[in-house]
Structure 1
Amino acid sequence: MLADMTELSADPAMTPPVTRACAVPSYLSRTYHWAYLNRHTLPWLDRSLVVSAILWGNAGRLMRAAVEEFAPGQRLLQAACVYGRFSRMLAERVGPEGVLDVVDVAPIQVANARRKLDGLAHAQVRQGDLARPGCVAAEASDAVCCFFLLHEVPPVERACIVHNLLGAVRPGGKIVFVDYHRTRPWHPLRPIMAQVFRWLEPFAPSLLDTDITTLSPLGEAFTWKKTTCFGGLYQKLVGVRRG
């Protein structure tokens, strides 16, 4: 379905590392089987209206805010699959002169993303555990996008993922994190989101007050800019690796 990446460039750095099949992490199976590993709920959740509802009508806004950070012709690494059109938006942004490399640990998500990216020869989806060393090549990407992944992993795995993603950015390149953030005290959804996190997103509260830039010593090699929206519920963190 998707073109062999070796045909896109003779540069070895343009070819992602070959990763062996890896087991789905136990925390993912225990906590998010219903959301990401169940073949019955996947088609229902992977709808634009559902994605928009989950993010209180902000899905399109947040996706566009992330996509606009990237440029045509870039080699872009997407950390984990995303429901909705997000991967296709990224692929269209970098265009046929660029490369989109999507990595996810769940085979069912890999297959679903491949289906949605069918026909885009410059986009590929592969299985890999981003918390493990060697899943992504060091300094091989012009840009990295991590969209609503960090709140769904435990703190230890979160730090490993951030470290590996930062290491994948070449000097002068960019990394973008979009995720939940601590709301303003007056936010009307604050008590509602507290219950959502309690019942459905147990790892999210540990992210809200975490400075993502400090999760890896590699963070010191980047220049950072953070913006928040929707009363502080969401954040976009952009880092540029100094050359």
Structure 2
Amino acid sequence: MEPNPADPALHVHGALVPHDAEIPSYLRRAYSWAYLDPRTLRWLDRPGVVSAILWGNANRLMRDAVAEFAPGQRVLQAACVYGGFSALLAQRIGAHGALDVVDVAALQVANARGKLAGFRQAKVWQADLSVPGCVAAGGYDGVCCFFLLHEVPEAERCRIVDNLLAAVRPGGRIVFVDYHRPRGWHPLRPVMSLVFRRFEPYAESLFGAAIESRSARSAGFEWTKTTCFGGLYQKLVGTRRG
């Protein structure tokens, strides 16, 4: 049975004690090269590389996501992110806030801890976000899911969305930033179609339905959605009704 991070027995001086989580088979199969290999991690975790992957939109997308949260909030970040995103989020919530970053891969957890070492308000721990009860229900003012959902199969995607929505307390906010189906005239549409088929095998299944439709809990939220860069990227913001 997976430990529940909401269990007080797992807390030491207010921090969550990390535990081993089994690497999902889909992650080993599709993304070992990107997230489980320390050799490629050193190359991929560079601002210039992150910017290139997102066609120069990385800083804009990161700023837009971080701006949805406020100083002093307790925020959950779903999965580690290459580049400086976690540091930006930690800076945004400030010394009186709290940031929990959760990832299933021990390599990513260790890497994020190194990048966040100067932020006492930030904790990084290991858990599988597709497992029910992996995060405390209603435990967060804000939840941020930045370019995770396109990297998981549909079944896991639905469970992750459901768990993240459950983690938002009444009046709190959840932010999803991810790929979106580009408009038909977009010059990069054929290029991205090739990229998805070659490197992102689960991405196009994300476009089959709205993100919020993956969980019945979404009925308890007010939703707003914006797209940018010709529809290639989306930001979906949900505010939980009080």
Distance 1:51 1:199 in 2: 18
Distance 2:124 2:42 in 1: 18
Residue of structure 1 in register with 2:173 after alignment: 174
Distance 2:11 2:18 in 1: 14
Distance 1:148 1:132 in 2: 19
Residue of structure 2 in register with 1:71 after alignment: 70
Q: Residue type matched to 2:205 in 1?
A: S
Q: SS of the residue aligned with 1:172? A: strand
Distance 2:207 2:191 in 1: 15
Task: Name segments (4+ residues, structure 1) moved above 3 Å.
Answer: 4-8
Q: Residue type matched to 1:213 in 2?
A: E
Q: CA deviation at 1:19?
A: 6.0
Q: CA deviation at 1:20?
A: 3.6
Residue of structure 2 in register with 1:93 after alignment: 92
Contact in 2 for aligned 1:182/1:209 (Cα 8 Å): no
Q: CA-to-partner distance for each residue in 1:158-180, whole Å, 9 max, x for gaps? A: 00000000000000000000000
Distance 1:210 1:43 in 2: 34
Q: CA deviation at 1:156?
A: 0.1
Contact in 1 for aligned 2:143/2:175 (Cα 8 Å): yes
Distance 1:242 1:20 in 2: 33
Q: SS of the residue aligned with 1:179? A: strand
Contact in 2 for aligned 1:22/1:129 (Cα 8 Å): yes
Residue of structure 2 in register with 1:140 after alignment: 139
Q: CA deviation at 1:210?
A: 1.8
Distance 1:97 1:208 in 2: 37
Q: Residue type matched to 1:32 in 2?
A: Y
Q: Residue type matched to 2:168 in 1?
A: V
Distance 1:197 1:67 in 2: 26
Contact in 2 for aligned 1:75/1:100 (Cα 8 Å): yes
Contact in 1 for aligned 2:176/2:236 (Cα 8 Å): yes
Matched ranges for 1:97-116 at <5 A: 97-116=96-115
Identity %: 65
Q: SS of the residue aligned with 2:26? A: helix
Q: SS of the residue aligned with 1:198? A: helix
Q: SS of the residue aligned with 2:38? A: coil
**Mind listing any 5+ residue stretches in structure 2 that lack a counterpart?**
1-9
Aligned residues: 233
Q: CA deviation at 1:208?
A: 1.7
Residue of structure 1 in register with 2:6 after alignment: none
**Pair 1:204 & 2:166 matched:** no
Residue of structure 2 in register with 1:117 after alignment: 116
Distance 1:32 1:178 in 2: 20
TM-score, with length taken from structure 1: 0.93
Distance 1:19 1:112 in 2: 14
Distance 1:187 1:37 in 2: 33
Q: CA deviation at 1:22?
A: 1.3
Contact in 2 for aligned 1:181/1:209 (Cα 8 Å): no
Q: CA deviation at 1:239?
A: 0.2
Contact in 2 for aligned 1:19/1:135 (Cα 8 Å): no
Q: SS of the residue aligned with 1:41? A: helix
Q: CA deviation at 1:209?
A: 3.1
Distance 1:186 1:140 in 2: 42
Q: CA deviation at 1:7?
A: 4.4
**Mind listing any 5+ residue stretches in structure 1 that lack a counterpart?**
9-14
Q: SS of the residue aligned with 2:114? A: helix
Distance 2:151 2:209 in 1: 14
Q: SS of the residue aligned with 2:161? A: helix
Q: CA deviation at 1:134?
A: 1.4
